[in-house]
Chains A and B, each alone.
Chain A
Amino acid sequence: MDSSGLGVRRAVGFVAPALVLIGIFLVFPALWTLYIGITNYQLTGPAAANPQVVGLDNLVEAVRDPLFTNSLWLTALFVLFSAVIGQNVLGFLLAWLLRSVSPWLRRTTEGLVLLSWILPSTVVAFLWFAVLSRDTGTLGLLLGQPETSWLVQYPMTSLIIFNIWRGTAFSMLLYTSALAAVPPSQLETARLVGASGWQTVRDVVFPHIRGHVLTNTLLISLWTANDFTPFLLTSGGPNHQSEVLPVLIYRQALEGGQLGYASAMSMLLLLGNLAIALVYLRLLRRRA
């Protein structure tokens, strides 16, 4: 018998309800994606009532589809510049700089960064829509270019900057706790020998937080690749110029009605997620 006196049977009873929900709403949809992805299932029309198995045709079609390759490329740019570079660097910079400022400045900055992370996505999307809109948008007024419609003329750049603003909090929190583990004596030694800030980060701090950098990069990349907020800002437009993978899947499935084809693309997204998650779990295990 275990310390709680539950016994195996009752313990299974405790776990079961959660597993049933996870099974129905998470595992089953994931597996079903694989099946729908090899059919010509559609939202309306003859293929809606009687979908046919078409095998790997959807995947072959996707690889040849310029909209899909365009979307993969945009997703890669989005992940690379907004997460891997943007959130990582700004998050570390904030964690590093905020160590040595007065408590109130530190609290204010952290509070603002966290707020931009936890506010509902439709609200922040509208806030940025307002900042970036033409004629009266705040950015246009600040830069003296009120005629520029930023979301139309620079859609991907806008999304990347928006996502840096939106997601930096996680990296900041992670690096703040990672930096607390760097031995102060080593930082002190670096200061005494006159190392510059950059040299200290490179030679003293980085070796201690290498694992955290990798963990952080994997997680924020995965979340950014799956983020649906770009839909709220640009809906993929203008003319597919900001159509990252989640937006393309939505538009193919719900606006175009091509459920089978969209599922095949979801399957590729799931496989990408799986690859990142497996690397991540391997890292966790090695550390544990």
Chain B
Amino acid sequence: MSPLWIVRRIGFYVLITVVLAFFAVPMLWLASAPFDAKPGLGLRWPDWTLRNVVATFEHPYTLTSLVNSLVLCVIATVVTTVLAALAAYALSRVRIPGRDLLLYLLLLLSSVVTGTAAMVPIFVMMLQLGLINSQFGTALVIAGGMLPAAIFILKDFMDAVPRSYEESARVFGASPRQVLAHVVLPVARPGVATIFVWAFVNAWGNFLLPFLLLRDVGQQPAAVLLRTLYDEGGSANLTVIPVFSLLYSIPVVVLYLFVSKRYGFRFHGGIKS
């Protein structure tokens, strides 16, 4: 153990500590401020209390917005997962004329047409269709944006399901629908679960589309309400914001823990767009 080696080890751990602090410091506030009797913007050891939690639940829109988030997210996620699974299965198994071109275009679309680049026409279209303030309409827009990537990732999973399973099921007289429901989907379950979680996390955090399309506070999801809470009236409401941010973040954290425990956080191509 030469002195140089010791210096390098110390430098190494100092570097890791700095990086850890960089990532941890902003998040610590989310653990301390919700339970602090006098929550401020700075990080400090809290005077423990649960009064903020009560105040947050008494706020007229917090619970509504979490329910709205759930509605929006469940519709968008279910639509994305179901339609992507059907499309990915058909594209994986059948040589539809023009399939390769279609797949190429889907991959291109998934990255080129972002919500930011298409916000003006999407807003105008929904305005003319009278779908501003429609949660269902907004959920479909979100689903449409996620579908190309979802189909692409799922097709990889479907390609990996051995065809011999389907062939033997068909020998025993299973209909195509039974083959899909009882053979392919159970085998491709990790893929479907991946897409489900991916779509849920994306839809849950989506701010721009609900912000554009849901103008009525009674329809808005948590993402938009949180923005309103800290943007309106000059000073942020620090009794409600910390607890509300925490409540709104919990589903994402739970899903993350579930995925990393069950599957490990591996890489599936472009898993977040």
Contacts and interface: CB of A to CB of B under 8 A. Distances in A.
A119 interface: yes
Contacts of A27: 109, 113
Interface in A193-249: 219, 222-223, 226-229, 232, 246, 249
A148 interface: no
A3 to B, nearest CB: 4
A121 B201 CA distance: 11
Given A4-B166, A5-B170, A123 B248 contact: yes
Interface stretch (A66-74, A77-85, A259-267): A259-267
Contacts of B167: 3
Interface string B123-144: 1110000000000000011011
A185 interface: no
A109 to B, nearest CB: 6
Interface in B224-273: 224, 226-227, 230, 236, 241, 245, 248-249, 252-253, 256, 260, 265-267, 270, 272-273
Contacts of A53: none
B121 A33 contact: yes
A99 to B, nearest CB: 12
A116 B267 contact: no
A190 interface: no
A19 interface: yes
Interface in A99-114: 101, 105, 108-114
B270 A219 contact: yes
B41 A133 contact: yes
B15 to A, nearest CB: 7
Contact of B120 (A11, A14, A137, A249): A249
Contact of A273 (B25, B111, B140): B111
B118 A109 contact: no
Contact of B24 (A93, A112, A122, A223): A112
B109 A226 contact: no
B93 A117 contact: no
B172 interface: no
Contacts, number: 282
Q: Which of A30, A114, A117 has the most CB of B within 10 A?
A: A30
Contacts of A113: 23
Nearest to A138: B43
B26 A127 contact: yes
B96 A8 contact: yes
A18 B105 CA distance: 14
B3 interface: no
Contacts of B140: 21, 25
Nearest to B69: A120
A250 B122 CA distance: 12
Interface string B80-92: 0001101101110
B255 to A, nearest CB: 8
A286 interface: no
Contact of B116 (A7, A114, A269): A269
Main secondary structure, interface of A, reads helix
B166 A249 contact: no
A231 to B, nearest CB: 8
Nearest to A32: B121
B207 A232 contact: yes
A29 B16 contact: no
Contacts of B179: 4-5
A26 B89 contact: no
Interface string B206-231: 01100010000000001110110010
Contacts of B147: 18, 21-22, 26
B94 interface: yes
Contacts of A15: 86-87, 90-91, 96, 102
Contact of B41 (A4, A124, A125, A136): A136
B83 A120 contact: no
Interface string A126-140: 111111010111101
Given A97-B15, A270-B113, A249 B119 contact: yes
A223 B111 CA distance: 8
A47 interface: no
A36 to B, nearest CB: 6
Residue from the set A105, A135, A226, A259 with the largest chain B CB neighbour count within 10 Å = A226
12 contacts: A5-B166, A6-B90, A7-B94, A25-B143, A93-B19, A111-B260, A118-B201, A120-B248, A123-B249, A126-B230, A249-B116, A253-B120
Given A33-B117, A101-B16, 18 more contacts: A3-B93, A5-B170, A15-B102, A18-B147, A25-B140, A26-B147, A30-B121, A111-B260, A116-B23, A116-B26, A120-B222, A122-B205, A127-B245, A136-B41, A174-B267, A226-B116, A228-B208, A229-B207
